[in-house]
Amino acid sequence: MLFSLSLIGYYLSTTTYIIFFVTQKKKIRSAARCLLFGAGILHTVTIISRYFLAGHTPLTTHFDTVSFFAWSMTWAFLSFRWRYQVKNFGTFVSIVISALMTIAALSSQTIAELPPALQSAWLPVHASIAIIADGFMAMGFCSGLMYLLQERELKKKRFGVFYSRLPSLEALDNLIQHCLTVGFPLLTLGIITGSLWAKQAWGAYWHWDPKETWSLITWFLYAAMLHQRFIAGWRGKRAAILAIIGFIAILFTLWGVTFLLPGVHSYVR
């Protein structure tokens, strides 16, 4: 029930953001932002109530994971928004949030018994950090996409819907950078806490189970991206494309691995 309410809240906010994107009326944007904020709060309440319902941190089912993904993206966006403003960023972000929420809504909401291996204080720490990192990377994906759209119009010299609505390339490039500089340390921390937990639960830091492998691949992708940026000046279009590829890797780690490659993480369904 609570979940459905927040889902509706997100849909309304996304619709309003799209209307703002078309009309560019400031009042509509404030409305969209308020709706998103409201939906975010409802969603927080949803997650807390799931916690009491399940008796443990609700991050072990597919439904909970994706829902928490959307939640972290919402609050990552709102926290960014509080610090500085990027024109029409909200439209893109809210679409992704709504998409995630839809996927969550389509999966089973039944609460599974917690396997003994997962009964640990590490569960909330590891899972939430890893997913919050994903939230920031998802924002990086949105800014990368916006960069490519704006860049394309500037290069082709044909100015359509995006030219006037999207911010400058430099602003978007900075935005990608910001998302990655927050997301990457979190991603690193997620992997470290995971391996500490693995040591405690299974006796070894690393098992090379598919989820771990793919997290590592994703981590290397982002690490290479940041490294190249500082050393060789990989910025602009290339950074934008990499931010998008990185996000695809994250999605694969989240879903591809779970559904295609079974391993110790496979209870997250």
Residue 155 engages other proteins in binding (rule: CB under 8 A): yes
What residues between 1 and 40 interact with other proteins by CB under 8 A? none
- Contact range with other proteins by CB under 8 A, out of 59-67, 165-173, 243-251, 253-261: 165-173
Please identify which residue in 168, 185, 204, 223 interacts with other proteins, judged by CB under 8 A: 168
3-state SS assignment for residue 36? helix
Residue 259 engages other proteins in binding (rule: CB under 8 A): no
8 A C-beta contact, residue 141 and residue 218: no
- Contact range with other proteins by CB under 8 A, out of 32-40, 53-61, 219-227, 230-238: 230-238
Which residue, 151 or 209, has its beta carbon nearer to other proteins? 151
Residue 167 engages other proteins in binding (rule: CB under 8 A): yes
Instruction: Kindly state the smallest distance separating residue 240's Cβ from other proteins, in Å.
Output: 11
Ranges of H-type helices in 55-121 = 62-83, 89-106
Rounded Cα gap, residues 65 and 124, in angstroms: 11
Distances (CA, A) of 247 to 133, 178, 217: 11, 15, 12
8 A C-beta contact, residue 76 and residue 139: yes
Residue 232 engages other proteins in binding (rule: CB under 8 A): yes
Please identify which residue in 75, 122, 205, 234 interacts with other proteins, judged by CB under 8 A: 234
Type of residue found at 216: L
Instruction: Kindly state the smallest distance separating residue 243's Cβ from other proteins, in Å.
Output: 15
Rounded Cα gap, residues 59 and 67, in angstroms: 9
Type of residue found at 82: W
